[in-house]
Structure 1
Amino acid sequence: MTGKVLVIDDLEPNLRLLEAKLKSEYYTVYTATNGYDGIKIAKEKMPDIILLDVMMPQIDGFTTCKKLKEDEQTAGIPIVMVTALTEQEDRVKGLNCGADDFITKPIDEFHLFVRVRSLIRIKELFDELKLRDITYSNFGGSKNFLKSQTEKLNSKIILIDDDVFEIKKIKAALESEGHTLIVFNPDQPLEKIQEHDFDLVIVNTLLDEERALRMSVEIKGMTNKKRVPIIILVDESDKKVMLKGLQIGIDDYVLEPLDINELLARTRTLLRRKKYQDSLRHGIEDSINASVIDQLTKLYNRRYLETHLGTIFEEAKQKKDRIVLLTIDIDNFKKINDRPGWGHSIGDEVLKEVADRIKQCVRDNDLAVRHGGEEFIAVLTNTTVENGTIVAERIRKKIADTPIKISVEPYGIDVTVSIGDAVMRHEGDSPEDLINRSDEMLYKAKTTGKNKVVSEE
């Protein structure tokens, strides 16, 4: 994941150090030496994240943060305050001014990139919600889709810990934010957790790091909890556990000894991300007229694509991002519909399952559409040509590798798809041209053997 980062710091050595670190990971970096210039650049460049020093002349970091968050144009940009290690008061003040997170000096590269990646992911989801809000308004709805995302989050949180003092401290902090905390002792059967609805899990790895990580993986594996974020509490010197946790799918970590403000910042970020993801997955059915939803597959339909793709296209041009469009067609689908004893009801079962598998292979901020009949389209935003091909192949394998269950004998059939892959060109391109090029690639896939992905040269 790459993105655009704005660094605001009045000290030239600090600017250059952060710029070098970020560029080494292929981020585009903008810099400013004071708050006024930082606000100006933020409005001109619309970065994906801002790293903001607290102590600056003219206007300090707190005032700069407040101004950015009060401006509708820049309010959605995540801000990370850069503070001194000992300045607890600065952290509280920064969060109260609207900062999304903070990192301490001297800046550790590992912690820096975890924070940046996590918050850029939030920004991508936020941006997609804004675009869908615009599309919804084009269908006659009011622009209230994002309004619900800024409301106070009153969430249910599971804490797995046996430290009585720490439990009391965490409980008081989270309840002060309006959350409900449910405490589990690590000796309790994990199955008991499934009896609760919850939005986030906090696991203390100091009790037994291997056991804690195993419990986290098991929670992630629960069918109805796959998308629930997990935070681990980990010793500040134990980077091995931090890295292992992130590798196995843990969403974030907070260092011990525990800074309660750090925990609150991470909690807010992950709960907001979950709410954005839930809105992108489910909100459409409640917020957008059923005329833009395919009633069989619950994907968006052709009408929605024709409106929303134009919005996505213009946004990508402004940001100089890439869009990859995949046209996906079920091979030999007519044989399923025409088979005696099967007919369209079995065809519908296949269509629904193919749609579900496509959704499993794309991100929440991508767009999955039933284009008509047995043809689907996936629009992958802010991506690369290489990643587009990887996702296309993932979809193809997801459908081909496991038979699709049906309600009549033989109760399972092999289904394959052919996929055409085209990438947006910034000069002289249009949504219609992109769809046509993808369709041409699909035709090549169909006429050269099927069950394959064909990409633009």
Structure 2
Amino acid sequence: MTAKILVVDDQPINLRLMQARLRDEYFEVILATSGAEAIEICRRETVDLVLLDVMMPEMDGYEVCRRLKADPACRHIPVVLITALDDMRNRITGLEAGADDFLTKPVRDLPLFSRIRSLTRLKILSDEMRTRAETTMRVLAGNEADAVAESGTGGSVLVVVDSPAEGERLSRILRSEHTVRVHVGPVADLEAAAIEPTDLLAIDLQAESFDPLRLCSLVRSNEATRPLPILVLASDGRDETRIAKALELGANDYILRPVDRNELLARARTQVKRRRYDESLRRSLQQTIELATVDALTGLSNRRFFESHLTASIARARTDAKDLSLLIADIDHFKQINDGWGHAVGDGVLRDVAARTRDSLRACDLACRIGGEEFVVVMPDADSEAAAAIAERLRRVVADQPFPIGGEMISVTISVGFSTLIADDTDATLTKRADQALYEAKRLGRNRVVLRAA
């Protein structure tokens, strides 16, 4: 995953060194030598993450962070503060200013790149939700949607630890601002239904009675718990590799032992606030999309939403210099199903295909029914190889499991065509190439995936 990183430091040598490290990992880098310049860049350009030095003349990193987080155009950009001051008061000041993390010089590669990848991955998902919200409001009323973030207190926190004593210590701190539940020991009986009403999940990364990394993976792979923020508790140094793995698996943040009360509360507030903001976007999307942009039969977005969203997605892909692919799928011989078993059965097949499509996609992909038995999927940040894998997975998930039709289990297949954004593409040309690929798949015998390049 690539990203555009803004590095802010008043020392040219520090800028050049950080630029070289980031470019070696194939990140795009923008440089700024002052807080004012950094704020202007964030307002003018698409930035995925800011690495911000704290000690700068005129405007220090704390103030820059406060101004970015107060600006509606910039508040969604993750900010990582970097300083030579390894002092808890400075760390808490940064977190309370709105920073997403705080790294101490000299910054080691493992924590640096783990945090960059984790935060930029979360930003991609958040950006996609905001784009959909803005698309919906344009379709319905021509206004931008901008959910208001809440305070970050009064949340529901679930603490999963190895010992009652550790659970009580953490609970005693968190109870001053949140409602806290503690689960001690094995997590086999910790079902998604028990986790889902939570605003924050805190996991002991040193636990021995259960696998904390496996728990992170399970939470992220379950649709009901996927949006839940995860904070892992680790020991300094010894757990650095496990911290990086937890972040890779989807953990949002970490805190090192011995746990400082104010730091734990600050990190918890940040994650609860983000959870509430994302939930407000989801509620807004659900309420407004259902009015005019959802296909009533399948629950997928309809043609009206697709056409508007594709325009925004292409513009964003070009601005961010990222890939975008478009997939069109058509149910093979669908007329025979309608003619042989009736339209009610045909509608059931459409609903089932839509459900399988939705379940087989990435979180950032958008599936739509654009008419009859035809579906499209918009795939941001997917090149031809990634799009081919998604398309093939979708084809298999339909073909490999028979459908209940007229009291029998009948095999149903789909043909899939897809295209990937090129330099001079418009909405129409990208869609036309995917459509041509679909017809080629039909011509070649159906139940297959075809790419149409330029």
TM bracket (short chain)? 0.7 to 0.9
Aligned pairs for 1:265-304 (under 5 A) are: 267=268, 271=272, 283-304=284-305
Identity in percent: 37
Match of 1:333 in 2: 334
Q: Is 1:438 the equivalent of 2:396?
A: no
Match of 1:313 in 2: 314
Q: Determine if contact 2:331/2:412 at 8 Å carries over to the other structure.
A: yes
What per-residue deviation string (whole Å, max 9, x for no partner) do you get for residues 372-414 of structure 1? Answer: 111111111233232222222222222223334x37422x333
- Opposite residue 200 of structure 1, the aligned amino acid is L
Match of 1:451 in 2: 447
Q: Determine if contact 1:83/1:91 at 8 Å carries over to the other structure.
A: no
The aligned length equals 451
Match of 1:26 in 2: 26
- Provide the rounded CA distance (Å) in 2 between the counterparts of 1:241 and 1:256: 14
**Pair 1:225–1:262, CA change in 2 (3 A):** same
**Pair 1:453–1:386, CA change in 2 (3 A):** same
Match of 1:16 in 2: 16
State the 1:131 CA deviation. Answer: 2.5
Please identify, of 36-45 and 17-26, the stretch whose mean Cα deviation from structure 2 is larger.
Answer: 36-45
| TM-score normalised to structure 1 length | 0.87
- Opposite residue 111 of structure 2, the aligned amino acid is H
- Provide the rounded CA distance (Å) in 2 between the counterparts of 1:189 and 1:323: 39
Match of 2:414 in 1: 417
Instruction: Note the aligned Cα RMSD (angstroms).
Output: 3.1
Q: Determine if contact 2:234/2:255 at 8 Å carries over to the other structure.
A: yes
- Opposite residue 74 of structure 1, the aligned amino acid is C
Gaps spanning 5+ residues in structure 2: where? none
Match of 1:384 in 2: 383
Match of 2:113 in 1: 113
Q: Determine if contact 2:4/2:28 at 8 Å carries over to the other structure.
A: yes
**Pair 1:420–1:188, CA change in 2 (3 A):** closer
Please identify, of 317-326 and 211-220, the stretch whose mean Cα deviation from structure 2 is larger.
Answer: 211-220
Please identify, of 66-75 and 215-224, the stretch whose mean Cα deviation from structure 2 is larger.
Answer: 215-224
Aligned pairs for 1:50-449 (under 5 A) are: 50-84=50-84, 86-141=86-141, 143=143, 145-149=145-149, 152=152, 154-163=154-163, 166-176=166-176, 178-186=177-185, 190-191=189-190, 194-195=193-194, 197-208=197-208, 211-214=211-214, 224-225=224-225, 227-236=227-236, 237-242=238-243, 245=246, 253-260=254-261, 263-264=264-265, 267=268, 271=272, 283-339=284-340, 342-404=341-403, 406=404, 408-410=406-408, 412-427=409-424, 429-449=425-445
- Opposite residue 298 of structure 1, the aligned amino acid is G
**Pair 1:223–1:27, CA change in 2 (3 A):** closer
**Pair 1:229–1:401, CA change in 2 (3 A):** farther
- Provide the rounded CA distance (Å) in 2 between the counterparts of 1:401 and 1:273: 39
Q: Determine if contact 1:190/1:215 at 8 Å carries over to the other structure.
A: no
Q: Determine if contact 2:136/2:305 at 8 Å carries over to the other structure.
A: no
What per-residue deviation string (whole Å, max 9, x for no partner) do you get for residues 206-227 of structure 1? Answer: 3417544455556667774455
- Opposite residue 243 of structure 2, the aligned amino acid is M
What per-residue deviation string (whole Å, max 9, x for no partner) do you get for residues 343-375 of structure 1? Answer: 222222221222122222333333211011111
Structure 2 counterpart SS, 1:23:
helix
State the 1:166 CA deviation. Answer: 4.4
Please identify, of 80-89 and 248-257, the stretch whose mean Cα deviation from structure 2 is larger.
Answer: 248-257
Q: Determine if contact 2:22/2:29 at 8 Å carries over to the other structure.
A: yes
**Pair 1:274–1:367, CA change in 2 (3 A):** farther
Gaps spanning 5+ residues in structure 1: where? none
**Pair 1:189–1:326, CA change in 2 (3 A):** closer
- Provide the rounded CA distance (Å) in 2 between the counterparts of 1:193 and 1:306: 35
State the 1:439 CA deviation. Answer: 0.2
What per-residue deviation string (whole Å, max 9, x for no partner) do you get for residues 73-106 of structure 1? Answer: 2222111111336221122211222222222222
What per-residue deviation string (whole Å, max 9, x for no partner) do you get for residues 397-437 of structure 1? Answer: 22223334x37422x3332221111122233x211221111
- Provide the rounded CA distance (Å) in 1 between the counterparts of 2:209 and 2:399: 39
- Provide the rounded CA distance (Å) in 2 between the counterparts of 1:116 and 1:106: 16
- Opposite residue 426 of structure 1, the aligned amino acid is A
**Pair 1:258–1:452, CA change in 2 (3 A):** farther
